Structure 1
Amino acid sequence: MTLSSFLCLVFIFQFLFTSPSLSLSSDGLALLALKSAVDEPSAAAFSDWNNGDPTPCGWSGIACTNISGEAEPRVVGISLAGKSLSGYLPSELGTLRFLRRLNLHDNAFSGVLPAQLSNATALHSLFLHGNNLSGAIPSSLCTLPRLQNLDLSKNAFSGHIPEHLKNCKNLQRLVLAGNKFSGEIPAGVWPDLRNLLQLDLSDNELTGSIPGEIGTLISLSGTLNLSFNHLSGKIPASLGKLPATVSYDLKNNNLSGEIPQTGSFSNQGPTAFLGNPDLCGFPLRKSCSGLDRNFSPGSDQNKPGNGNRSKGLSPGLIILISAADAAVVAFIGLVIVYIYWKRKDDENACSCIRKRSFGEEKGNMCVCGGLSCVGGVKSDDDEEEEYEGGEGEGEGELVRIDKGLSFELDELLRASAYVLGKSGLGIVYKVVLGNGVPVAVRRLGEGGEQRYKEFAAEVMAIGKVKHPNVVRLRAYYWAHDEKLLISDFISNGNLTHALRGRHGQPSTNLSWSTRLRITKGTARGLAYLHECSPRKFVHGDIKPSNILLDNDFQPYISDFGLNRLISITGNNPSTGGFMGGALPYMNSSQKERTNSYKAPEARVPGCRPTQKWDVYSFGVVLLEILTGRSPESSPTTSTSMEVPDLVKWVRKGFDQESPLSEMVDPSLLQEVRVKKEVLAVFHVALSCTEGDPEARPRMKTVSENLDKIGT
């Protein structure tokens, strides 16, 4: 052996046994391949990636865990998002057998997605959005048995959307938006993806029609986004079979025909269909003509001899319309005559007037044309006279809206009153009547003397709302110097106290079943106000302090319609109100900051409240019930239970797939059996808190979806 050969052999042995890189674990060596594949690696991203370490578990962006049967911790997560890294993805990443999450989004990686990633059989989440990756999706990707989240959006992937995606049977999120995919959406993929929660194929170059098989995605939630493509043809009616919580985004395509009116289509707003000039029908303002809707090549309408059948009106129909017009004119005449004689009779009437403030002791008696009333008491049978009276009528009168609650004004004024709450919506007292029944009495103010009719009409509309989850208004009193609302007294405080305790300590009574009961009842009450109440009320101020609870933790919505009444009486409404509730006095430093519960569009001054405002606020309340965290933020105090933007915090947790234990109220963690129910309510809450009002469901839909949970 020559001397040079001997020295070479010595060098090789020395390298093998003393090289520090060989002390690194196999997972660490695979990660060094990633570091080498990055162009001019950022010092901040790889500064502590030292090849002399025994394991990579202390490196930035690397997560490890102990695996049963393994001698050392194994790499389960790579998170290097938003590091401005460029280069390519090395095939060595596939050797990380226990890798679960690969999070490299918002960088500048280019090249293709290596097919060898399929060797990382534990991989369940692949977040590569916001890079410059190109080529096709490798067919081997769906051999990953646990793949649940695939987000390849905002890259340069091209070709057809592959049929082999149907093999990703555990896939929950498929986001391919913002690429260069072309061709038709394959029909055979979707029936096999029974677990898919999110589908986003927007901003590509897709053509052809929307496959009706997408309607088989029974687990879909959130938004089905097919916008900004070149899709054409009619919208398949089978999409209406998707869950009611699904919102559509089909805008900026070439779709045509009438929008289906079945199933989940009834919950969509117009923004879902904009940018399709040939679409018509509800909710767009472009109607479909009868000819366009019913035309078909073989229909009777197109046969000879039928062309004039729809032209003009038949003589019989003309006679019927004329008779109806005459009947309407006669009816209007009778109404005018009735009002004239009614007012003539009212000129000789008198009213029972009281001019005492709430809390005085004596009543009075007056007799007017054979009608006696103590303290000016009237019942809802006299509602018609209320509206027909003159400007002075109604002064000093106690009007009972509900006959079931029998009491006299003197009885109310003599009873002891306890202050429950005080705000810009008036002072609220607890009053126990002579029969032992407690009521809540709100003093509204002293103004509005000239607007009695308007006030009475508003109160009567509120009084007609009768629902087991809405506080009942029982009576009201009007005088120049006193205006009172009498409602049911709800004995167990409100949801704020139930969640946080009366002194900032969380309640121990709110089990999951109790919280679910509160959410369902509140949703039913709010849906009733929106859909079934006489005025289709918008509450405008849904928050935990306006959700009252009885001793069985049944919820009651309070304070709807009060802002309007306050404006009539001339006072300035504020955000606090406690109609019917058992609430302590709150000083200005303790008042709830309601901006955290308001929808984004509701925070713009001068905007008119809408029902979608209430849906958003209810969604925030749901998140507070689920997390136990308050969306309030105090400028002077901060606790771990306060989150300045609860909605963003929860959405970030779901985007990053944070463990449920990090988001849910710790007191619920022991109730393992309800994990599926908790997740279902989270999804409802997130749909309610969509930033786009049109993307939020109707409250009726929210209530129906909550009622399905836990049954």
Structure 2
Amino acid sequence: MFLPRLCFLTIFVLLNFNGDIKFGVCLTSDGLSLLSLKSAVDTASASASFADWNENDSTPCRWSGISCMNISGSADPRVVGISIAGKNLRGYIPSELGGLIYLRRLNFHDNNFYGSIPDQLFNASSLHSIFLYGNNLSGSLPPSMCNLPRLQNLDLSNNSISGPLPKFMRNCRQLQRLILAGNDFSGEIPEGIFPELANLEQLDLSGNKFNGSIPVDIGELKSLSGTLNLSFNLFTGKIPKTLGDLPLTVSFDLRNNNLLGEIPQTGSFANQGPTAFLNNPMLCGFPLQRTCKNNSENTPGIQSASRENEDINESKGLKPGLIILIAVADAIGVAFVGLVIVYVYWKRKDSHGCSCTGKGKLGRNEKTCVFPCISNFPSNDSEVESEKGGGGASGGISGGEGDLVAIDKGFNFELDELLRASAYVLGKSGLGIVYKVVLGNGVPVAVRRLGEGGEQRYKEFVAEVQAIGRVNHPNVVKLRAYYWAPDEKLLISDFISNGNLAFALRGKNGQPSSSLTWLTRLKIAKGTARGLAYLHECSPRKFVHGDIKPSNILLDNEFQPYISDFGLNRLITITGNNPSSSGGFIGGALPYLKPNLPEKTNNYRAPEARVTGSRPTQKWDVYSFGVVLLEMLTGKSPDYSSPTASTSTEILDLVRWVRKGFHEENPLSDMVDPMLLQEVRAKKEVLAVFHIALACTEGDPEVRPRMKTVSENLEKVG
């Protein structure tokens, strides 16, 4: 039994000069248990965090970091949550906290607590979430920890906890998240633990000293999602095939171990990339570029032939005759390049002052054609004005030396029809000029000019365009046709009529469109995720977009999203244009995107994408999509700086601002777009999408989920 209310002195009688009687103040038993925490922390670090923890109060429910709730059968509100995180507190965790029998959530992460976790702490039998990561805790896992009947979340990462992973962990049957990364755990992991953890969704044992084989029964974690992280340990032996029995959405991280043998090819192994197995010198097989010896023995012709060729090349130098032949070929190549340059010069000189690049200054002495170097451009100034974005322009054929090729066989029209059609300039960027063209049948299309170069790379250009053209998904802009000539390349795609997400979010006055209700935003998020997952998993090239942002998410009149601009950077490289800036306009209605709404592309890019020379990966796209989600949720741009920064030098971008808000358990109303606050029923859905966005914007790309997983999780919302 416990006493619901204790007193420091039940009745303290003090006779003063007037004979008055004064009564002492009573503090609840929960308050007394909490005062033990204040006493256990060094005074120097505790002054600010415990300033309002006063033993003369009648209840601790108004103290900083304390949450209370009315419990049936109890006269006073009881403590159900302690959250004192990131305060640089130095001290130990007192065993008296185990007296808080209604405590559900304990959050001490990112402090300097030391010593072992007291076994008596788990007398607080209502605990379901324990967050102690980022401290200096040591010792081993307490045996009574799994006596908690409701323990769901246990994060002890980045401490100095040691010892083996004990067998009693199998008694934590309600666990959903077990995160022990960055400690000093060692020894072999015993079998029999994981089959009992049927509810486990996240398992991270990385950065320890576990050795021996990976447990075979880890494949029985049927509820696992996200990443199974066993990296940076001392695991040896072969990778058990049973890992292939894990859900297909699970990503592996087995880097930096001593695993050996061939990587299994069954089940979920088929969805893993090479980074999952790096720095295991004795591993071989797909997806690593390291062939197993057994495979080379089965195909001796291939392996031995390649080795013999290498030996021959190493043993023999270039013969004199071959050297002369190479020199002659070089001379012919230089001469040919010179002829091409002369040809291009005279071609431009004869184009009547019509700029073939679309980059010249518009004026009376220089014209910018709607389709330069293909159509004859009238010489009146009204056409120059239409080039600035207003009216239509038309022209006849000048006999361009090229072919208009329809990728979609049901989309037939002639080149002269395209050139005679009314055209409107939508925008200009490093990815070319974009026009809206209305064909004779009234169907609008978007036409992008890519540039004049690349005449020597025709086959490469066609191969890339054909790969883009084979992409067919309801949430991806469809490429319909292309035109190739030595001095002109055009892409013809669907025209999407309702602008893009950037304009919908920020509009003319910087405020979201009133049409962007929660259901509409969720629809846009789901459609974009489906389209991006298709590009990653099912498209012919398994495309990496590399530049996901709101201006590349086009919207139709029903607010159905369409991803645009995928594959363009490669085409720009072939044609020799400069892709330094991305307009994000292919297929989109650009008059709605005003110049006074700049979009800082780098703020959508993953941290590793900002390193010069880095190559795009699918995890880049996942991060960028996460930033777009946060922008839709908060209504704030990605370069948002927190107005509550503690110092003038502390600048929090949108991702860090949201993460800080969740760590500090700020009210959701402080972070969500005010327009969404009216939709009370959507609160749980908004919170679920916040968690998906935070998973997408993890700093470590290996921790981020695949787009397929992101899409599946979004589909469950609502």
Q: Please indicate, yes or no, whether the TM-score normalized by the shorter chain is above 0.5.
A: yes
- Counterpart pick for 1:34 among 26, 33, 37: 37
Q: What is the letter of the counterpart of residue 92 of structure 1?
A: E
Give secondary structure in 2 for the equivalent of 1:52.
coil
- Counterpart pick for 1:363 among 385, 396, 403: 396
Contact 2:455 2:487 in 1 (8 A): no
Q: How does 1:429-444 map to 2 (within 5 A)?
A: 429-444=435-450
Question: Which residue of structure 2 aligns with residue 453 of structure 1?
Answer: 458
RMSD: 4.2
Contact 1:661 1:669 in 2 (8 A): no
TM-score (ref. length: structure 1): 0.73
Question: Which residue of structure 1 aligns with residue 221 of structure 2?
Answer: 217
Q: Deviations over 1:370-391 (max 9, x none)?
A: xxxxx75xxxxxxxxxxxxxxx
| TM superposition shift of 1:541 | 1.6
Give secondary structure in 2 for the equivalent of 1:142.
helix
Q: How does 1:653-668 map to 2 (within 5 A)?
A: 667=676
Q: Deviations over 1:133-189 (max 9, x none)?
A: 444433332232332222223444444323332332322222223444344323222
Contact 1:566 1:573 in 2 (8 A): no
Q: How does 1:82-231 map to 2 (within 5 A)?
A: 82-231=86-235
Query: 2: distance between equivalents of 1:548 and 1:436?
Result: 21
Distance 1:112 1:678, change over 3 A: closer
Contact 2:640 2:653 in 1 (8 A): no
Distance 1:668 1:215, change over 3 A: farther
TM-score (ref. length: structure 2): 0.73
Question: Which residue of structure 2 aligns with residue 620 of structure 1?
Answer: 627
Instruction: Compare 514-523 and 613-622 and name the one that shifted more.
Output: 514-523
Give secondary structure in 1 for the equivalent of 2:591.
coil
Query: 2: distance between equivalents of 1:56 and 1:515?
Result: 41
Query: 2: distance between equivalents of 1:232 and 1:675?
Result: 43
Contact 2:436 2:495 in 1 (8 A): yes
1:235 aligns with 2:243: no
Distance 1:464 1:356, change over 3 A: farther
Query: 2: distance between equivalents of 1:155 and 1:481?
Result: 63
Which runs of 5 or more structure 1 residues have no equivalent in the other structure? 1-9, 294-309, 314-352, 365-374, 377-391
Q: Deviations over 1:563-613 (max 9, x none)?
A: 344452645541212111123254544132111221222212333334443
Give secondary structure in 2 for the equivalent of 1:210.
coil
Q: How does 1:578-617 map to 2 (within 5 A)?
A: 578-584=585-591, 586-617=593-624
Contact 2:68 2:79 in 1 (8 A): yes
| TM superposition shift of 1:18 | 8.5
Contact 1:402 1:474 in 2 (8 A): yes
Give secondary structure in 2 for the equivalent of 1:195.
coil
| TM superposition shift of 1:82 | 4.1
| TM superposition shift of 1:278 | 3.4
Instruction: Compare 168-177 and 284-293 and name the one that shifted more.
Output: 284-293
| TM superposition shift of 1:460 | 4.8
| TM superposition shift of 1:437 | 1.4
- Counterpart pick for 1:522 among 528, 534, 545: 528
Query: 2: distance between equivalents of 1:107 and 1:541?
Result: 38
Query: 2: distance between equivalents of 1:705 and 1:662?
Result: 28
1:691 aligns with 2:699: yes
Give secondary structure in 1 for the equivalent of 2:48.
helix
Query: 2: distance between equivalents of 1:244 and 1:35?
Result: 47
Q: What is the letter of the counterpart of residue 580 of structure 1?
A: G
Which runs of 5 or more structure 2 residues have no equivalent in the other structure? 1-8, 302-372, 378-386, 646-650
Query: 1: distance between equivalents of 2:166 and 2:493?
Result: 62
Contact 2:436 2:445 in 1 (8 A): yes
| TM superposition shift of 1:32 | 1.7
Q: Deviations over 1:419-450 (max 9, x none)?
A: 433433344333322222122233445x4385
Query: 2: distance between equivalents of 1:656 and 1:13?
Result: 40
Contact 2:496 2:556 in 1 (8 A): yes
Question: Which residue of structure 2 aligns with residue 59 of structure 1?
Answer: 63
Contact 1:64 1:74 in 2 (8 A): yes
Distance 1:630 1:245, change over 3 A: farther
1:486 aligns with 2:506: no
Q: What is the letter of the counterpart of residue 473 of structure 1?
A: L
Q: Deviations over 1:319-376 (max 9, x none)?
A: xxxxxxxxxxxxxxxxxxxxxxxxxxxxxxxxxx954149654535xxxxxxxxxx75
Q: Deviations over 1:213-249 (max 9, x none)?
A: 2222223233323334333332222222223343333
| TM superposition shift of 1:471 | 1.9
Distance 1:566 1:354, change over 3 A: same
Contact 2:115 2:137 in 1 (8 A): yes
Q: What is the letter of the counterpart of residue 363 of structure 1?
A: G
Q: What is the letter of the counterpart of residue 423 of structure 2?
A: A
Query: 1: distance between equivalents of 2:287 and 2:476?
Result: 30
Give secondary structure in 2 for the equivalent of 1:576.
coil
Contact 1:270 1:694 in 2 (8 A): no
| TM superposition shift of 1:15 | 8.1
Give secondary structure in 2 for the equivalent of 1:428.
strand
Distance 1:102 1:438, change over 3 A: same
1:575 aligns with 2:587: no
Q: How does 1:295-314 map to 2 (within 5 A)?
A: none
Instruction: Compare 509-518 and 616-625 and name the one that shifted more.
Output: 509-518
Distance 1:417 1:456, change over 3 A: same
Query: 1: distance between equivalents of 2:207 and 2:491?
Result: 55
Query: 1: distance between equivalents of 2:531 and 2:559?
Result: 14
Query: 1: distance between equivalents of 2:418 and 2:36?
Result: 82
Give secondary structure in 2 for the equivalent of 1:575.
coil
| TM superposition shift of 1:62 | 3.0
Give secondary structure in 2 for the equivalent of 1:34.
helix
Q: What is the letter of the counterpart of residue 429 of structure 2?
A: S
Query: 2: distance between equivalents of 1:449 and 1:40?
Result: 71
Instruction: Compare 399-408 and 509-518 and name the one that shifted more.
Output: 509-518
Query: 1: distance between equivalents of 2:393 and 2:685?
Result: 57
| TM superposition shift of 1:634 | 6.0
Distance 1:360 1:622, change over 3 A: closer
| TM superposition shift of 1:649 | 4.5
Q: What is the letter of the counterpart of residue 606 of structure 1?
A: G
Question: Which residue of structure 2 aligns with residue 369 of structure 1?
Answer: none
Distance 1:62 1:708, change over 3 A: closer
Question: Which residue of structure 2 aligns with residue 260 of structure 1?
Answer: 264
| TM superposition shift of 1:281 | 2.4
| TM superposition shift of 1:516 | 5.2
Identity of aligned residues (%): 66
Query: 2: distance between equivalents of 1:683 and 1:461?
Result: 34
